[in-house]
Structure 1
Amino acid sequence: MFRRITLSALLTLAVFGSTFMPVQAGEARAETPKVAHRTVKIDGLDIFYREAGPKDAPTILLLHGFPTSSHMFRNLIPALADKYHVVAPDYPGFGQSSAPPVDKFTYTFDKLAEVVEKFTERIGLTKYTLYVQDYGAPVGYRLAVKHPERVTGLVVQNGNAYEEGLDNDFWKPLKAYWKDRTEENAKPLRGFLTLAGTKWQYTDGVRNVEAISPDTWTIDQTLLDRPGNQEIQLALFYDYRTNLPLYPAWQAYFRKHQPPTLIVWGKNDKIFPAEGAQPYKRDLKNIEFHLLDTGHFALEEDGQQIASLMREFLQKNVKK
């Protein structure tokens, strides 16, 4: 017996299928939305972003994590852009955006959020659903607290707003560095900036390593290896300590404003494990919760499922 497939799922499969699946001669398929690759000036910096979809449609603002960039959304963007306006910027120091040295730019999460805020205003985004992953959570939640009227919903993928899950072995060297910012304490953190460390983030916890493209860690590592970039990343490792004291304010935002929220979390992630996903249920009433059997970069292995879940969630909760 055939299982009923929703229109949302069919559209998602059509878009992803046009990217990954072979098409037989004469077979019709949906046209993949075109993605534009653009750059704007923000405070003298070139901020690169990917954009697709009709500008009069509901907007989704995709905020990437470490050590990647908007490249992590390369497949998700066209999977949503037939119906939504999708925008994904690169932060300063990441991807194709400017990466001034640490003595020329203050690499803090406050500053990254400030740049992203100005970016959204420059390109005319007045309302958006936030997709936050890893570093995208502290950037995005700063925006949400400051401008709750702009946020129409949240999609959370391995990004903490609670201290649960931040007590495992991964966080021990980071917390040592927060306590005493010395080169000796920085040495273990430099391991996160190597090819082995970057590849580990993409492959640990996945069901099938062969499904993960080596292009992912190769591209990220090439950018990490730029002169001065290790110092940029170490500055952000150190500043991550400033996020934890803000957790109560972010949780208060959840309780007061109750943004519709979709959790799509790679449950095998050792950086942001599933313990960090569960507490969202305490504060949010309109929440859809999915733990996926994959790792830190869940889009790499479960992008089709995430896109389908997003389409259904957005259809129910986010109107033009």
Structure 2
Amino acid sequence: MAKATHHTVELNGHSFHYLEWGRSDAPVLLFLHGFPEYSGAWTEVAERLADRFRCIAPDQRGFGRSWAPAEVEAYSLRELVGDMVALIDHLGGPVTVVGHDWGAAVAYGLAMFQPQHVSRLVIINGVHPAPFQRELAAGGEQTSASQYILYLRFEGSEEKLAANDFDGLLKLFSAKMDLGWMTPERQKLYKAEWSRPGRLRGMINWYRASPLKVAEPGVPLRDVPALSRDRLQVRCPHLLIWGDGDTALLPVCIEGLEEYAGDLTVRHVAGADHWICHQKPEAVAGLIRSFVEAHTE
């Protein structure tokens, strides 16, 4: 399979690192990782698509080898989307954007607010902000599953997660999900990325900067501002790949997604949870390939 090459590029005056697989003249797939991962998390999927596509996986702001400012306000969605707009311009976009977990938030932001940069959108166990905020505020099962967000937002949570050789972060990573794919060799790579100065704070600042409101279990929030349905529309072809065993993001979070995506395709994958890209890379790559080829003019 194709091996990745490393690149460093200046985006909006700051240094960013990305991995690349495939030919430089092939159609671009831009892969956006989530927490607590990094660009290398896409290796299994990208290697399977590099015969047909130019696969680009950046370390997003605060992660890996990319710029990691300490200030919480530097991690607003506007700033995170701006990074990827600059990268897409560098790549000669528009591109197909693929997002997982927090990467899905940036991918949705690109599709909703910078649609000229996105030709197709693929989300893998990630959530649109409107249905997700609805469920975070409802006080139900998703509210309970997302209480860790409040813990992460506390000042100093990064020190607790890093203690004892990242024992807390690894427990958060594996909570109620299959981490059998995390070999000792891969764990060593992850810890090397988490150990870079300022990175763990940068990673957690994504949670601190988010405007999402999280209720207490059983106590719905009544003061959540209404979100504009027109403003939050995804107008390009949109594929959602969903590992049905996810315990961090529950199926209720994708109910009503079709109200925000007029050209939506949903594909469920059994035997996979939130870490579907590691557990079922062949299936994920196949679904992406079929979707892009079906929506190529």
Aligned counterpart, 1:172: 147
Aligned length: 276
Residue 228 of structure 1 deviates from its aligned partner by: 3.0
Q: Which runs of 5+ in 1 are unaligned?
A: 1-31, 179-184
The CA distance in 1 between the partners of 2:96 and 2:228, in whole Å, is 21
Report the TM-score when normalising by structure 2.
Answer: 0.79
The CA distance in 2 between the partners of 1:190 and 1:279, in whole Å, is 38
The CA distance in 2 between the partners of 1:191 and 1:70, in whole Å, is 24
Residue 72 of structure 1 deviates from its aligned partner by: 0.9
Aligned counterpart, 2:121: 154
Aligned counterpart, 1:308: 286
Task: Please identify the structure whose Cα radius of gyration is greater.
Answer: 1
Amino acid of the structure 1 residue aligned with 2:13: G
- 1:115 is the counterpart of 2:115: no
Aligned counterpart, 2:206: 236
- Could you say what secondary structure the match of 2:211 adopts? helix
The CA distance in 2 between the partners of 1:174 and 1:206, in whole Å, is 17
- 1:89 is the counterpart of 2:58: yes
The CA distance in 2 between the partners of 1:177 and 1:201, in whole Å, is 10
8 Å CA contact 1:93–1:100 kept in 2: the answer is: yes
- 1:137 is the counterpart of 2:117: no
Amino acid of the structure 2 residue aligned with 1:58: P
Residue 282 of structure 1 deviates from its aligned partner by: 3.6
The CA distance in 1 between the partners of 2:89 and 2:79, in whole Å, is 15
Matching of residues 166-245 of structure 1 within 5 Å: 166=136, 167-175=142-150, 185-186=154-155, 195-200=166-171, 202-206=173-177, 209-241=179-211
- 1:41 is the counterpart of 2:10: yes
| % identical aligned pairs | 23
Residue 268 of structure 1 deviates from its aligned partner by: 2.5
RMSD, aligned CA:
3.0
Residue 313 of structure 1 deviates from its aligned partner by: 1.3
Aligned counterpart, 1:290: 267
Q: Which moved more, 1:273-282 or 1:84-93?
A: 273-282
- 1:253 is the counterpart of 2:236: no
Aligned counterpart, 1:61: 30
The CA distance in 2 between the partners of 1:241 and 1:221, in whole Å, is 29
Amino acid of the structure 1 residue aligned with 2:146: W
Report the TM-score when normalising by structure 1.
Answer: 0.74
